[in-house]
């Protein structure tokens, strides 16, 4: 009986210390396959919701950047971007340009974030363009 107990202890020790085989590979394939519907939904939601968010964010950012840059270059002697009336006059020209540039950049970043982040991390705030736009 003692030999059986020693043999059982030896088998248990060897079983615990045996290397893990690639038995997880089929399970991983099944898991990734089952996530495909979630990922496709994440891409769709990220593009549909995230693109308008990115367009608005980039349009505002481009408008502000272009207005401050133009005010600095046009009216250095009048105070540049710190002069309210100068920024008001310059913004008449930079508003359409800011909307155009911001719209194009927002369309690019919103679609890119929706597809890439929507696939890798579905329904994450980054896939809705709520994080950094120029990441990755």
Half-sphere exposure of 91 (CA within 13 A, CB side): 13
How far apart, in whole angstroms, are the C-alpha atoms of residue 15 and residue 52? 56
Q: Which residues constitute the domain of residue 85?
A: 38-128
The answer as to whether 102 is a domain residue is yes
The answer as to whether 25 is a domain residue is no
Of the ranges 8-22, 61-75, 96-110, the best mean pLDDT one? 96-110
pTM exceeds cut of 0.75: no
Q: What pLDDT, on the 0 to 100 scale, is given for residue 136? A: 47
Contact 107, 55 (CB under 8 A): yes
Residue 58's pLDDT band, with cuts at 50, 70 and 90, is: very high
Domain count, the chain: 1
The answer as to whether 18 is a domain residue is no
């Amino acid at each position: 009986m003692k030999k059986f107990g020693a043999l059982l202890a030896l088998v248990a020790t060897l079983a615990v210390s045996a290397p893990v085989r690639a038995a997880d590979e089929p399970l991983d394939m099944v898991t990734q396959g089952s996530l495909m519907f979630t990922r496709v939904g994440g891409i769709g939601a990220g593009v549909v919701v995230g693109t308008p968010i990115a367009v608005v964010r980039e349009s505002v950012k481009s408008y502000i950047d272009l207005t401050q840059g133009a005010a600095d270059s046009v009216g250095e002697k009048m105070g540049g971007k710190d002069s309210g009336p100068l920024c008001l006059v310059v913004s008449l020209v930079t508003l359409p340009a800011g909307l155009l540039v911001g719209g194009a950049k927002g369309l690019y970043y919103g679609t890119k974030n929706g597809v890439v982040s929507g696939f890798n991390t579905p329904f994450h705030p980054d896939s809705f363009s709520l994080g950094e736009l120029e990441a990755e």
